[in-house]
Amino acid sequence: MFMFSRIAEDIRSVRERDPAARSALEVFLCYPGLWAVWYHRASHLLWRARLRLAARFLSQIARFITGVDIHPGAMLGRRLFIDHATGVVIGETAIVGSDVTIYQGVTLGGTGKGHGKRHPTICDGVFIGNNANVLGNITVGQNSRVGAGSVVLSSVPPNSTVVGVPAHIVYRNGERILITDPHDIKDPLSDALIALSARVKELEKCLCIVDNQTQVLEPFAAEAAEREAYSEELGHLQEYVSMGEGI
């Protein structure tokens, strides 16, 4: 009975989160992401019973049928929804909380060949967009969102939204996060942006100096203009007056 209640709970959670789900029977028959979760529950039991080869073999069957590769050692919470399913990879030491939504192409992977905890921990209520990569022994905080195509290499605080390659926080607790320091972007081009920013500051200083010099020279410029006007006036007078004529 416990198994059937969990299946019913999974189907109900999908219907709540996916507007395309029209009936419980459709979800049961046409959602390979759910099948992958159910296969994993069986393979995880075998893994915990130290039947490692049987667990891996069952996970490979699930991968062939569903397109989702979940290592039997991974720990998955309740009501996990893997939408569209294809291409999702979840590593051996990954931990996924409850009410998590994962879209196609997502990787919860490791970095390097070290042992121990080397895959991410995804807390409750997290949303991970399609083709996002969450790599290493990091934590994505509760109710956070990872934008599509992002590469997350460091831990994400709760109630945050991260985007980019590598990912950086753009929203936290419902408020927009403005980035003023290029170092915070952690982009491969950050050094170039920093150099460009420094150059702009230098040019601004030069413009301020020129502007100050112009303000200082303004009285002299006015005097020069007066002299030029006086010279032009004298030139006009010479057309009518010629000193020494008639002598």
| Domain positions in the chain | 2-178, 180-247
Q: Write out the two tokens for 90.
A: 């979840």
Length of the chain: 247
pTM: 0.72
pLDDT at 180: 63
What is the share, in percent, of the chain residues with pLDDT greater than 90? Answer: 54
Q: Write out the two tokens for 92.
A: 């051996």
H/E element holding 151?
strand 151-152
Superfamily of domain 2-178, CATH level 4: Hexapeptide repeat proteins (2.160.10.10)
For the chain, count helices (H), then strands (E).
Answer: 5, 16
| Contact assessment for residue 159 and residue 175, using Cβ atoms and an 8 Å cutoff | no
Buried b (16+ CB within 10 A) or exposed e, 138-162: bbbbbebbbbeebbbeeebebbbbb
Q: What is the mean pLDDT of the chain?
A: 84
CA dist., res. 95 & res. 139, Å (int) = 9
For residue range 82-106, list pLDDT tens digits in order. Answer: 998 889 999 999 999 999 999 999 9
Q: Which pLDDT band holds residue 196 (cuts at 50, 70, 90)?
A: confident
H/E element holding 16?
helix 2-17
CA dist., res. 10 & res. 32, Å (int) = 12
CA dist., res. 139 & res. 146, Å (int) = 12
